[in-house]
Amino acid sequence: MQDITLINHNDQSGTRFSGENVRTLLAIAFLILAVLATFSQTTRCDFLSYDDTIHIARNPWLNPPTWKSVERFWQGPYWGEYVPLTYTLWAWESHADRRDADDKLTPGLFHFVNIALHAMATVAVFVLLKDLTGATGAALLAGLLFGLHPLQVEPVAWISETRGVLSGLFGILAIGMYVRFARSLKSSTSRSAAWYLAATLAFALALLSKSSAVAVVPMLAVIDVLLLGRRARSTFVALLPWATAAVAMAAMMTSQQGIGSIAYRPNLLERIVMSGDAIAFYLGKLVWPTRLCVDYGWYPLFMREQWWFEVLPMLTVALFVAAWLLRRRGSLLLGLLVFVAALSPVLGLVPFSFQDMSLVADRFVYLAMLGPALFLAMSTRRLSGKWLSGIAVALVVVLATLSFRQTLVWRNDLSLSIHAREVNRSSIFAAATLAQEMMRRGDHEEADYLSVEATRLNPHSARAWITLAQVHTFHGRHAAALEALNNALELHPTSSLAHRMVAETMEKQNHLDEAIDHYRLALKYGRRDADRAVLYTRIGSALLRLHHDNEAIKAFESAIEILPRVTIDAWIGLAQARLRTGDTEGALEAARNAETSLPQSPRAPPAFYVSIAKFYADVGHLDDAIRLASQAVDGYRKNEDALGLRQIEQFIETWQANADSQSHTVSP
């Protein structure tokens, strides 16, 4: 591999401002403008129900954000992930955002920040590859490939994937500074320690942005040995601290995301074959980036039944053999190895939670695009200026056009799901999203059709049966919903969502003991804070209905311990349970805490105010009851809920009469 080992560049930090500097600055400016022009319209895209509402738009810790919120994200995983740096950025954006008339977050700023991060990552790729090749034009081509390829649309256009873009940016910076560190050792400069510390810090920030940054370690191992020509032992020593941190992060994510509850876990041989399928898929989309969508539906049971299941891995192996045979004539093998190293955490060799939906996704390629960019830069570094200019124009025209069209897909839930269904007829994501949209519009027949078809096309998918159960539940068909959920649990016995839905259905039918059993199973298999807090609250409410007051108190307290600021239902339930046990002071304290939580809850429904008001009325605090009920009046009027408004006005009238009666009784 000596032919692709590059000559070390001397440290040129003191070089005067020259023509090369001007070309570099112009190239950077061109890259930034190209990225902004291609992705600018995503600033008009909505928040998506696909994770955006959970992570940002309706995240109680970001509505509004506080220092306590930021502290919470750094204390431990949230929603099955430990990405505190990303949540800190989202907290700042939530604080800086100009909210709409209903005090809701608006997506524009979040999209703009994501585009800016991607532009910075693109520039970082350019700088890294210019440093490696010494060729500004070749590095510019590589930067355009990284920045404008349609596979990058999903992570840039999807707000929730800010975590991947931010992690990718710091990962690329870590690689660039590590390259400087390795070269400084050969040139005997005194800056090697500084470069290594800076690279390590960047890697740590990448891990804290998204755990997929663990891939930086194998990527750097490939670059260090094959490109920089360092000994494997030296590489091992330098990357050992990074690898240790990566393993620790991977272990944390495995425990948090409930890997043990994956519906189907392929055996080792199947995982190897599936990883070959995934590599072939990504290489195909890299070369021919059309028919991209959010849900390809390549989950293990689906893949195993396809004719190409064992064919694609053979093509992948053939490509690597060809790259090995041509290793002395080019850098194809290097680019492939960096590409695969970046994808290694999500190829299915190690199980991960998303594989139940699909083993492949566009966003997984974000950092991996460095491999093709490296191949392009090294392959074109000796081309003349005319050739480079022609290739650059072609890249901009083709890639920017395709990416610009792909951004239109991400406008909103409806456009995203319709497109996913056009590309992948059996998309469970599309069926679920469109069914919910049809129910919202009152088109129940179409919602039924979509959910039933999802189970027909995906009979081995628990998610499809859960979608059907959701539609049945919406229509009040509880027996049919339970049948669908039983099918889901046969396929996926550890599905927290399926157990929760069974419990909710049982509770509606007053089968409270069975409901509690399923709530506890959902709690056992659930990993996310918000889910666990809700489940404890539901258990407490069911126990309260069974008059198991002390057990209910423990359940409510468990919910509050997880999310003390936003578990209003738990505070109200705790107040009721304490009142039943004779702890009036403790009950009032819980009610005050519920009231304190109201402004911190995103768009707290009027029903919360009414529940607390009723409690105050029950304990004789009529002035407090009237005050809270009056606040509920505003909510009902805003929601145009005539029935709710009439009922609360009757409550206020009754409480006011009782308060007046008490006042006359105590008057002299």
pLDDT score of 264: 75
pLDDT, mean of residues 410-438: 90
Residue pLDDT, tens place only, 75-97? 888 877 899 999 999 999 999 98
Q: Which of 123, 126, 127, 114 is nearest to 153 (CA)?
A: 114
The answer, yes or no, to whether residue 396 has pLDDT greater than 50, is: yes
Residue pLDDT, tens place only, 45-55? 999 988 898 89
Q: At what angle do helices 136-148 and 108-133 cross, to 10 degrees?
A: 150
CA distance 115 to 111: 6
Write out the two tokens for 165: 């873009």
pLDDT score of 602: 46
The answer, yes or no, to whether residue 402 has pLDDT greater than 70, is: yes
The alpha helices in 97-191, defined as continuous H runs, are: 108-133, 136-148, 153-157, 162-186
Residue pLDDT, tens place only, 624-637? 888 888 877 777 77
The answer, yes or no, to whether residue 7 has pLDDT greater than 60, is: no
Write out the two tokens for 162: 């800010």
Question: What SS3 state is found at 62?
Answer: strand
If you search the block for the tokens 């392929």, which residue do you land on? 266
* DSSP structural state of residue 170: H
Q: Which of 529, 528, 479 is nearest to 502 (CA)?
A: 479
Q: Is the CB of residue 55 less than 8 Å from the CB of residue 49? A: no
Amino acid in the structure at residue 464 = A
Beta bridge partners of 78: 81
Q: Is the CB of residue 140 less than 8 Å from the CB of residue 30? A: yes
- Reported as a pLDDT band with limits 50, 70 and 90, residue 667 is very low
DSSP string of 258-275? TGGG-S----HHHHHHHH
Residue pLDDT, tens place only, 343-353? 999 998 888 77
| Higher per-residue confidence, 151 vs 445 | 151
% of residues, the chain, pLDDT over 90: 53
Residue pLDDT, tens place only, 454-501? 888 888 888 889 989 989 998 889 999 999 999 999 988 888 899 999
Amino acid in the structure at residue 383 = L
pLDDT, mean of residues 648-658: 83
pLDDT score of 2: 41
pLDDT score of 17: 58
Task: Determine which helix (DSSP H) or strand (DSSP E) holds 186, and give its type and residue range.
Answer: helix 162-186
pLDDT, mean of residues 439-452: 85
Q: What is the dihedral of CA 84, 164, 261, 542, to 10 degrees?
A: 50
User: Beta-carbon neighbour count of residue 600 at 10 Å?
Assistant: 17
Q: Is the dihedral of CA 209, 214, 216, 217 positive or negative?
A: positive
pLDDT score of 637: 74
Give the phi and the psi of residue 585 in degrees, each rounded to 5: -65, -45
Task: Determine which helix (DSSP H) or strand (DSSP E) holds 455, and give its type and residue range.
Answer: helix 444-457
Give the phi and the psi of residue 7 in degrees, each rounded to 5: -70, 140
Instruction: Determine the length of the chain.
Output: 668
Q: Is the CB of residue 485 less than 8 Å from the CB of residue 465? A: yes
Q: Is the CB of residue 213 less than 8 Å from the CB of residue 167? A: yes
Give the phi and the psi of residue 78 in degrees, each rounded to 5: -135, 130
Beta bridge partners of 62: 65
Q: Which of 261, 89, 74 is nearest to 161 (CA)?
A: 89
Q: Is the peptide bond before 64 cis (omega within 30 degrees of 0)?
A: yes
Residue 193, judged by CB atoms within 10 A of its CB (0-12, 13-18, 19+), counts as: exposed
pLDDT score of 566: 59
| Higher per-residue confidence, 495 vs 603 | 495
Q: Which of 226, 233, 228 is nearest to 327 (CA)?
A: 226
pLDDT score of 526: 80
pLDDT, mean of residues 390-403: 90
pLDDT score of 565: 62
Amino acid in the structure at residue 65 = P
CA distance 240 to 220: 12
If you search the block for the tokens 């009666």, which residue do you land on? 661
Radius of gyration of the chain from its Cα atoms, rounded to whole angstroms? 28
Residue pLDDT, tens place only, 149-203? 999 999 999 999 999 999 999 999 999 999 999 988 877 666 888 999 999 999 9
CA distance 604 to 626: 18
Q: Which of 499, 438, 447 is nearest to 468 (CA)?
A: 447
CA distance 462 to 484: 9
- Top mean pLDDT of 247-251, 544-548, 652-656 is at 544-548
CA distance 74 to 87: 9
| Higher per-residue confidence, 253 vs 249 | 249
**Domains of the chain, residue spans:** 18-410, 605-668
Q: Is the CB of residue 104 less than 8 Å from the CB of residue 603? A: yes
Q: Is the CB of residue 375 less than 8 Å from the CB of residue 279? A: no
The answer, yes or no, to whether residue 263 has pLDDT greater than 70, is: no
Q: Mean of the per-residue pLDDT values for the chain?
A: 87
Which of 175-184, 314-323, 600-609, 617-626 shows the lowest mean pLDDT across its residues?
600-609
Amino acid in the structure at residue 660 = D
Question: What SS3 state is found at 666?
Answer: helix
pLDDT score of 642: 75
Residue pLDDT, tens place only, 358-374? 899 999 999 999 999 99
pLDDT score of 256: 66
Amino acid in the structure at residue 166 = L
CA distance 185 to 8: 10
The answer, yes or no, to whether residue 324 has pLDDT greater than 60, is: yes
CA distance 37 to 404: 9
| Higher per-residue confidence, 265 vs 223 | 223
